[in-house]
Amino acid sequence: MTINVVGGKLPQEEVSQYIEAFKESHPDKYFTSFTFKVDGDFLDVDYTYDAVPFERIRRITGYLVGTVDRFNNAKRAEVEDRAKHDVALDNCCALENIA
């Protein structure tokens, strides 16, 4: 993780407390850098984080799977023979109607 302090001095203990507070308030984020901008009595904090690795999981023929690479030929045939359904988005509720 990269940590930069710009425009002044900030004690290491205070930097560590800010970072821990960000990690606690965003436990699903993987932070890669922090930039602390000191301006007198004010402090701006900029941060970046990596995207969380994501794998699509589908329910196929009764199994929850990410990929079908471990399926045998019969299971692969079942997957190929499945009926695929489209969802029409124009029939869904509009976001402005949701309170």
Question: Between residues 5 and 86, which one has the greater pLDDT?
Answer: 5
Lowest mean pLDDT among 5-14, 19-28, 62-71: 62-71
Closest CA to 70 of 61, 53, 82: 61
> Coil, strand or helix: which one is 98?
coil
Closest CA to 26 of 6, 5, 45, 10: 45
Residue 18 pLDDT: 94
> Coil, strand or helix: which one is 57?
coil
The domain limits of the chain are 2-50, 53-83
Give the C-alpha separation, 77 to 9, whole Å. Answer: 64
What is the H or E stretch that residue 39 is in? Answer: strand 30-39
The fraction of the chain above a pLDDT of 70, given in percent, is 84
Distances (CA, A) of 68 to 15, 57, 74, 80: 46, 11, 11, 11
Q: Over the stretch 27-71, which tens digit does the pLDDT of each residue have?
A: 888 899 999 999 988 999 999 988 777 777 777 667 777 777 778
The fraction of the chain above a pLDDT of 90, given in percent, is 39
- Other Cβ atoms closer than 10 A to 34: 19
